[in-house]
Amino acid sequence: MARLTGARPCPARRWGCAAAAFLLLLLLTVQAAQKADLSGDATAATINHSLTLLQRLQELLQNGNASDAVLRVRAAASDEAKVFHVHQLLLSLQSEVFEGLLRNQSVVTLHEPPESAVLFDKFIRYLYCGGVSILLHQAIPMHQLASKYRVRALQRGVADYMKTHLASESSQGHVVGWYQYAVRVGDEALQESCLQFLAWNLSAVLGSAEWASVSAELLLLLLERSDLVLHSELELYTAVEGWLGRRQPEPPVAERVLRAIRYPMIAPGQLFRLQAQSAVLAQHYGAVRDLLFQAFQFHAASPLHFAKYFDVNCSMFLPRNYLAPGWGSQWVINNPARDDRSTSFQTQLGPSSHDTSKRVTWNVLFSPRWLPISLRPVYSDSVSGAIQSARIEDGRPRLVITPAMSSSDFAGVSFQKTVLVGVRQQGRVFVKHAYSFHQSSDEVADFLAHADLQKRTSEYLIDNSLHLHIVIKPVYHSLIKAKK
């Protein structure tokens, strides 16, 4: 709501508006001159005083020199108002909302939530100078101001800030709050960025104060995903049990949440313990009894026999990205730009208890500068016979993962491979990149395609090391014939 008064600007204030217009046009002229083609003249130079001009514009706001309008910003439930002496032209150029509010009016009263009113001086300063500094807790109220007054560039800037600061340290967490805000305002790109971050760093979220603020809708969205990165399905169940105990949702919601747990991925001994000790499971046992019974059948029978009678090509039998040792291995590569490396590790053949004692050995090769055939060195046809060498920077890192066993040793099972890349941002290590590929391919096509491992400051490196975690996800097949 804005209260408008009918006072018209006096001629002196119109001169102030003209002065502001002149300064702004001069700034734009200087910036255009910096980009102008100087025709290769060796004597050409750019004289740049744009910072001085920006300072003059900021002084216009600070001192109210030659202002032609007044904004009175009042926080909700407060009788006091902040007063800003502003210039209509500058505000109208940045915001069509201000253009409408200030048309033929000189005083406008604005009512804002307290968290937005506190930031209004930063917001107005942005309209004059094109820059603003914000903190994590200021992102939402600043985005709200930019949205309310339709300052598109600031909207995009704050949204980009939020996407690049998901991993920042925060005592209470902020990603869940940002996701919920993105849902309210319909920012699908920010929603997906928050969801992806939560999925790939779920173990850290489960152990934080942020977990308690997760809504039922967000929890169900996360539980549907197979790309969750966490230690085990049991860790997820324990966190969900705590969430249900604190939130006490309606029975239908609690039952949907419990049915989204992938019980076949939990060992039988742990399932027995849950049945005996989990108060939440006892309260809603009727809603998940069929899933628990199916999980025990899954562990008791041969997967080849089980798959003849049950559809195992569904999410319930698909592992998530588990970090427990039986599902993969961590690999830290020091100085990854130096030369080729290799390693090997073992995983369990499958999640069924029938297969947990069986092991698959995996060989992994990392090459920092793999070149496609089109860029590999070839002999020249010239008389000198010189070798045409491809530039190192034309290559890209390569990761090849192959089983050391014959495929007949794991008939009925295929493997999805996921490579998680840990990075450090804002002093915190988290998963920012995940690459997945199926057994039909030994490597992922776009692995670290945009990484510059030559630079020690690369965002992909932590202390000049590449931190990988390779996850092997066994997938059983339905309607298969037993091996003779």
With respect to residue 146, please indicate whether it lies within any of the assigned structural domains: no
Query: What is the tally of structural domains in the chain?
Result: 3
Read off the CATH number of the domain in which 80 is found: 3.30.710.10
With respect to residue 158, please indicate whether it lies within any of the assigned structural domains: no
With respect to residue 44, please indicate whether it lies within any of the assigned structural domains: no
Tell me if 370 sits within 8 A of 398, measured CB to CB.
Answer: yes
With respect to residue 462, please indicate whether it lies within any of the assigned structural domains: yes
Last residue of a domain, one of 132, 165, 187: 132
Tell me if 465 sits within 8 A of 335, measured CB to CB.
Answer: yes
Same domain assignment for residues 242 and 342: no
Q: Other C-beta atoms within 10 Å of 243: how many?
A: 19
With respect to residue 140, please indicate whether it lies within any of the assigned structural domains: no
Same domain assignment for residues 336 and 466: yes
What residue numbers bound the domain in which 53 lies? 2-30+49-132
Same domain assignment for residues 283 and 352: no
Same domain assignment for residues 429 and 306: no
Read off the CATH number of the domain in which 433 is found: 2.60.210
Tokens 């014939």 sit at which residue? Answer: 481
Last residue of a domain, one of 101, 132, 163: 132
With respect to residue 165, please indicate whether it lies within any of the assigned structural domains: no
With respect to residue 114, please indicate whether it lies within any of the assigned structural domains: yes
With respect to residue 12, please indicate whether it lies within any of the assigned structural domains: yes
Same domain assignment for residues 293 and 421: no
Q: What is the DSSP string of 130-167?
A: S-----GGGHHHHHHHHHHTT-HHHHHHHHHHHHHTTT
Same domain assignment for residues 280 and 335: no
Q: What is the DSSP string of 401-460?
A: EEESS-GGGGTTEEEEEEEEEEEEETTEEEEEEEEEEETT-SB-TTTTTT--TT-TT-TT
Same domain assignment for residues 346 and 284: no
Q: What is the pLDDT along the chain (484 residues), one digit of tens a residue?
A: 444 344 444 444 444 445 455 555 555 554 555 555 555 566 777 777 667 666 776 766 666 667 788 999 999 878 789 999 888 888 888 899 999 999 888 899 999 999 999 999 999 999 888 889 999 999 999 999 999 999 999 999 999 999 999 988 776 689 999 999 999 999 999 999 999 999 999 998 998 889 999 999 999 999 999 999 999 999 999 999 999 999 999 999 999 999 999 999 999 999 999 999 999 999 999 999 999 999 999 999 888 888 888 888 888 999 999 999 999 999 999 999 888 999 999 999 889 998 888 899 999 999 987 655 444 444 444 434 433 443 444 568 889 999 887 766 666 788 899 999 998 877 778 998 999 887 667 887 788 888 888 887 888 899 999 999 999 999 887 644 443 3
Last residue of a domain, one of 114, 132, 150: 132
Same domain assignment for residues 182 and 239: yes
404: exposed, middle or buried (Cβ count in 10 Å: 0-12, 13-18, 19+) = exposed
Same domain assignment for residues 330 and 469: yes
Same domain assignment for residues 327 and 413: yes
Same domain assignment for residues 354 and 263: no
Same domain assignment for residues 184 and 204: yes
